[in-house]
Structure 1
């Protein structure tokens, strides 16, 4: 449409609406009618609307400009535009030219208000369609986009179809395409469809041949534009198929070969390059066991490397299956097998690795010793002679184990910081080949473990077994415990005592029954001093066996006889059942003025000692020590009383018996009035049915008060050892009454003997450690 004519028509519309349609307004009438749309441009449902048109909406009366919302939507959504208001008219100018051949919807949203504020109740919408785009003549020639096969392609199938893709729909006349092989023109069927042209040769193409395709300028698009120049591309067809199957040319080892090395790599050479799948080759021994390994292929040569050396004197069979193919996919015609035999074993085993290594130091004391050989070894050849471990004290005993190529020795025990030599000789492989002598040495670690120490605090009272294990009453993490030390001074275990065990008194052990029986004397809490006592029995592993019923208060000493009988001397002599802790016998002597305060029991005799203020045996009066000897059934055999010098008061602390020399000792403290003078020991010769006095010896000159619970006296190796918790002791007295040595320490809590050593527990603050002395000389050993 002519542009000038469009502008004229638009101006005419404006003049008509401006001057011909305006109505006078009656100012006296109250306006209650909302505005309404009376005219729009473009007209509703109009077509061929110019793409640069302005949308105009005219209302029935003047409107408020800020109340107008005009939305224009096309196929891609809302269109942006600029809105202007002139009294009752609305002009909407799109920011961009409208699209060709597109239907638009214009909508005036409800809410448009006149000057009186009356609002339009409903949306007003209409549609229009823009003009078609002007037709532009096609002057662009077609081009070739791609070909199948592409130019220069190789190995193209001989049954291929030629495909050419153009940039647009084309017309390919007969003279527009030609396919040749040299001077030979290839006949076939051409087909055009849109922008694609296909040519199917009439016959199969020749193998391994080059073909040329030419598209001439006779090719045109639908507007008649010609291909600007000939388009030429070439390709080469596939080679003629290989139908000859591969063959095995040679193998190594050859079929039937003997004396083959264990480390052999199997090789198979084929007649041509092949593919060998993983499962196409297998190697089995004579027991039909598969041999694991790795395989590789390089051209026509296949190799298989066994994971481990093959077994001596064994026949192996290799199988290559028909899964093997050449590069053309032709399979091996049939399975191929060959066998060979590995040579007999004539190689001696060698040591590859040891633990500990030669010269190793700081080796754990509980380590196992193992040796790894170059091959499996005969378990029967490994023994104390062929695998010898020796230290400073000679050969070490232990157990031997063999696992394939490794021999292991588990020692019964190794010593601390000791050099050991391992000598290997005569160990054979499975074929009987003996090894050459091989030796290596190592040194165990130093012992840094604290010994004879209670890490939780002090200890009180000791008891020792026939094997040198020591039990003690000790402070534990939060209460009194029984603690067990081994002969090396290391804690084996500790066991907490029952909650009611408030005071710890004494401990004793019986080890003659095959397992240790440990007895602990404790007292319950009583601020008035009258708390009952209990005995708790434990086994050698620390398990509580039983706890006795409550019995008399203020018991301090607990003794176990050499036959396992259990006693408490506490004024009266109480014997308890070792089964449940009940009292089985009570032995009195004299009247209430006599007290049994110590006991030493053997299988055949029981010796008791104490103090008395009466004449028990018709031998003395006043304040005396006494000793009485009973048979196992508490029948009195003899009794003696001893009245010390200076008319002092005597208080017995302990009795000791030397069965070898038939000497009985009694010891305790002497005093005058409230002053304590010294400790002393009296000795008697046990004549069987009577006793004769030997000597009396003072052992201290202190003035501290002692108690019955604080005195210890033991006869050991022909001497007697005496001590208490507050005087300068322990002291050793020879069998003739001569004092051999005195440690002059600030008292002693307890002491026991084993293997020529004296194990001593001193009072606080030294009570957290057990000290060891030479029992003969008194020299310290730790």
Structure 2
């Protein structure tokens, strides 16, 4: 189509306007970069000033770091540390988006090794973080200190946990971690491994700290802390490296539980809520009476419940729609801390709401016809209502293949979920049966669970289908006599454990074939479980080691020579 000159002159401004609008719209629209897979590569350091391991650095006014790609400037916040810390502040100045300077306000100490660290939280524009912190050591003197402490923080969410090292002197107080910032620190990497380098010779106490506030101080009940199994000595002119300082994070609690409220859930159930998990093992007597008539309300049973174990459930005889007063001895939390009261007193309004649900057996483990069960099997039940323990014990039988009863012991972690464990290991490749007579089982309210006789059958592993792991836990300290060895399958959650003598052959039997991770704990107090230590008064944790490689278990085979060494 031919346009006249006049038409072209009228159309030109419109075309220019439309072109500008499309350009603006395209620029304002976020689009992925064209071509290629998504960039998941973390930033990489190209250069630094001064260069790593520089000595006789004098009159230094700034540090400089340059990376291979554009960085998220905001992610550098709280990710720069200079150790030992400077008395004054420093300023970050960017030179584009790949390079930045750390400008000092104060001069540096003479004859001192410094370590500048860029934390693993630094990101590129894609959100990719550093694989591990970037460190820049340099010295204002003629030499660089070479002391080094390394280890690993075990468990979930170990990445970016801080490792704090304090020089220990004769007057070093246990409370140091609460009020004094560490002279040296670093962060754990993605696998929890850490390395503090360039330390002066001396004695150090090292902690792992999940520092929630970032104030370089330990806050009880807020931060998780890892306690060392030993202080570390880096000898002048001698051994300058200490390895395998491993940590497990714990949350310490020094205050007792606080009562929140009491309420009746039904005419037969009262729920007491607290601000933290309770000790389920402690038996507490609770007395309840009508506030006006002073008529007692009988408590039939009680138990700790709730996902957080922060509820105490009281099962009572039928309540009335009246006000009740109650009292009990003070409760303890799961750490053994008692409530700061001589007597817990509370009130609640009774409920006339009847409990119309049917009492029933919900689940049994193992299920019927289950095969390849372990020899140390625990039988577990799940009931809809709190079970009367006496009637359950008299209405359950575990029988072997000759119909002979298998003796065992009952555990009641909850009246809704009792457990039965045989006194001795079950036989290899053997058939067993369970008889549960519901007609004889009642709940604590004297209501039956039904009239069915359940007969479940199961069998254990054939010995020929299992393997073993053997080796030695090697130690030099003569006081380290006992060790707990835990074998955890790579695919699975069950933990197979044995308690053994150190420096003597051990054997972990009855393992299904597969890959396993091994961990050894020196059981110093010989209580059969790991002790994570204590911050104040200070008590060292128990030492432990984790084999870096998995162990292969094969059927009908002993995988030998799996030694776990605590030797330097």
Provide the TM-score with structure 1 as the length reference: 0.21
Q: Select the structure that is richer in strand.
A: 1
Greater RCO structure (CA 8 Å; 6+ sep): 2
Structure with max Cα Rg: 1
Provide the TM-score with structure 2 as the length reference: 0.26
